[in-house]
Amino acid sequence: MATVAKPTAPTRQIGTPPMVPRIAPREDLNPFRIAQIQFDMAAEFLKLDLGLRQILRTPKRVLEVSIPTKMDNGQVKVLTGYRVQHNVARGPAKGGVRFHPNLTLDEMKALAAGMTWKTATVNVPFGGAQGGVICDSKRMSKGELERITRRYASEILPLIGPYLDIPAPDVYTDAQTMAWMMDTYAMTVGHAAHGSVTGKPSSVGGSNGREEAMARGLVAVVEEACKLKKIALRGATVAIQGFGHSGATVAQVFAEKKAKIIALSDTRGGVTNSRGIDPIKAIRYKERSGTVVGMPGATRTTNDELLTMKCDILVPAALENVITLNNAEAIKARIVAEAANGPTTPHADEILARKGITVLPDILANAGGVTVSYFEWVQNQQGLIWDAEEVNARLQKTIVRAFHEMVETMRKHHVPPRAGAMILAVGRVAEATLVRGLFP
C-alpha cells in the first residue's frame, strides 16, 4: 500500500489557505498537462514510488479511429474519433462519449484520467475512460448522428463492453446516443447487452433518477460544505454559468432547497436578477428562444461578469478553463462547485484558496452522474429495477460519505478540497495497483 506523509501542522478548516507545492509562474491551459500537475501534487503527498507514478499518470490505452459516414446529401465524410482508457486497476473503464468540433486527444486523456480519480473518490469499482468524435453535432440531422454513432461504436467495439469499458453520455450526446451504441454492440455480439452502456432510456434498462443524478450529487456536496462554512443553503445566492441540461437541472435542485438563483448564462450570454430567477421559467424561455438572454424580469449580463459577481455559490457548468489566472482574483463567491469538468486551472486554484474560497472539485462535485451510472450498471447486471427514491437515497449516502472522507484527508494533509480529493483517489488507485502487481 502507498505510504503517506505524516501531518506536522495543526488541523485546518475547509476553505482556509493551503500548504501546496508551488506551481510554475506561466499558466498552461492544456487539459492533460493540468491533469498531470494535479496528479503529481497528490503523488508527492503520498510519497509514491517513481515507477508507480509513471503507471498512474500514463493512459493504459489510446485508440484513434476513422469514421466514414454517409451524410444526408449523399456525400461520405470521414470523421476522427477517440477512445482513451486511463486505468482499470479498480474495475472496468468508465467514461463519457463527447461530440464536439473542438475535441482534442489531450482533452480525452485528461477526462479519462479525471474519471479514474472520480470513480475512486466516490469509491465505485470502475476505472477511467473517455471518448468522442470531432464533429459539429448541432449542424447534423438525427439520421447523420445515428450513422456517426453506430460507426463510432463499431470501430471502438473491441475495447468496450460490460466488463471492459462502459460508455455514457457527455457533451452533445444523450440517452438516444447511448441507445444506438448499445444496440450496435448487442447486434454485433448477438445477445442483449444492457450493461454495455449507461445513461440510456429507461425503456432499454436506464436507471430511474439518472437525469437528475449529477445535480443532486452536486447540491448534496454543496449542502455539506455549507454546514462546515456555516452558510445557510436556504436563501443562499447561486450563480450558474452554463444553462444547458446539467446547469438547468442544478438550478432546479437548488430551487427545491430554497436557494436563490440570481444569475444564469449560456453560450450567447446571461441574465441576472438579485431578487431571484425561477429556473422553470428560464427553461421554458430558453426552449422558445434558444437562449436565456432577453427573458422577462432579468437584466442582461455576460459570462465573464457572471463568474465574478458577488454570490454565495458559483457553479461553473459549461466547459473547462473558465476560472483562470486572469479572473481568479475577481471571483467573489464563497463556494465554487464544479459541475463542469476542469473549469478551474491550477493557478486559479491557488488564488482562490488564498482568498478563502472553497472550491468543491469536479471529481467529487459532479460525481453524482457516474455514481448513478454505477447503480444503472449494477441493476442491468442483476436484472433489477430500483425506484427513484432508492436511487436518490443511495446517491445521497455515497456522495456525503465521499465528502467527509475528502474532508478527513484534507485535515490529515493540511490541503484544500481538490488536493484532498486527489490524495484520497490516487491513494486508492495506487493501493489497487500495488495489490494486483504487474503482469507478466
Predicted confidence (pLDDT) at residue 420 exceeds the cutoff of 90? yes
Predicted local distance difference test score (pLDDT) of residue 28: 83
Residue 396 has what DSSP assignment? H
Predicted local distance difference test score (pLDDT) of residue 9: 41
CA 173 to the chain's CA centroid: 14
What is the mean pLDDT of the segment spanning 307-333?
Answer: 95
Place of cell 472496468: 92
The domain 213-365 having CATH identifier 3.40.50.300: the answer here is: no
Predicted confidence (pLDDT) at residue 2 exceeds the cutoff of 50? no
All cell numbers assigned to 274: 438579485
Please name the residue ranges forming H helices in 190-301. Answer: 213-229, 245-256, 279-289
Residue 122 has what DSSP assignment? T
Longest dimension (CA), the chain: 68
Q: Tens digits of per-residue pLDDT, 370-411?
A: 999 999 999 999 999 999 999 999 999 999 999 999 999 999
- Give the rounded percent of residues in the chain with a pLDDT score beyond 90: 92
Name, in order, each residue with C-beta under 8 angstroms of 188's C-beta and a sequence gap of 6 or more: 154, 157
Tell me how crowded residue 351 is: count the other CB atoms within 10 A of its CB. 20
Q: Is the pTM of this model over 0.85?
A: yes
- In the chain, DSSP finds a helix count (H) and a strand count (E) of 14, 12
- Give the rounded percent of residues in the chain with a pLDDT score beyond 70: 94
Dihedral pair phi/psi, residue 162, rounded to 5°: -60, -25
Beta-bridge partner residues of 303: none
Q: Tens digits of per-residue pLDDT, 57-103?
A: 999 999 999 999 999 999 999 999 999 999 999 999 999 999 999 99
Calpha distance 165→126 (Å, rounded): 9
Query: What type of residue sits at position 290?
Result: G
Q: What are the residue boundaries of the structural domains of the chain, listed by start? A: 59-204, 213-365
pLDDT band at residue 25 under the 50/70/90 scheme: low
Predicted confidence (pLDDT) at residue 18 exceeds the cutoff of 70? no
Residue 230 has what DSSP assignment? T
Predicted local distance difference test score (pLDDT) of residue 155: 98
Predicted local distance difference test score (pLDDT) of residue 92: 98
Q: Chain-wide mean pLDDT for the chain? A: 94
Calpha distance 359→37 (Å, rounded): 17
- Same fold yes or no, 59-204 and 213-365: yes
What is the mean pLDDT of the segment spanning 28-44?
Answer: 94
pLDDT band at residue 3 under the 50/70/90 scheme: very low
Q: Is the CA virtual torsion 141, 147, 151, 152 positive or negative?
A: positive
What is the mean pLDDT of the segment spanning 209-217?
Answer: 96
Fold of 59-204: Rossmann fold (3.40.50)
Q: Tens digits of per-residue pLDDT, 137-175?
A: 999 999 999 999 999 999 999 999 999 999 999 989 999
Buried b (16+ CB within 10 A) or exposed e, 136-151: ebeebeeebbbbbbbb
Higher pLDDT among residues 360 and 171, named by residue: 360
Q: Tens digits of per-residue pLDDT, 271-280?
A: 999 999 999 9
In 107-249, DSSP assigns E strands to 127-134, 165-169, 237-241
Predicted confidence (pLDDT) at residue 10 exceeds the cutoff of 90? no
What is the mean pLDDT of the segment spanning 225-249?
Answer: 96
All cell numbers assigned to 248: 438547468
CB 298 within 8 A of CB 273: yes
CB 131 within 8 A of CB 82: yes
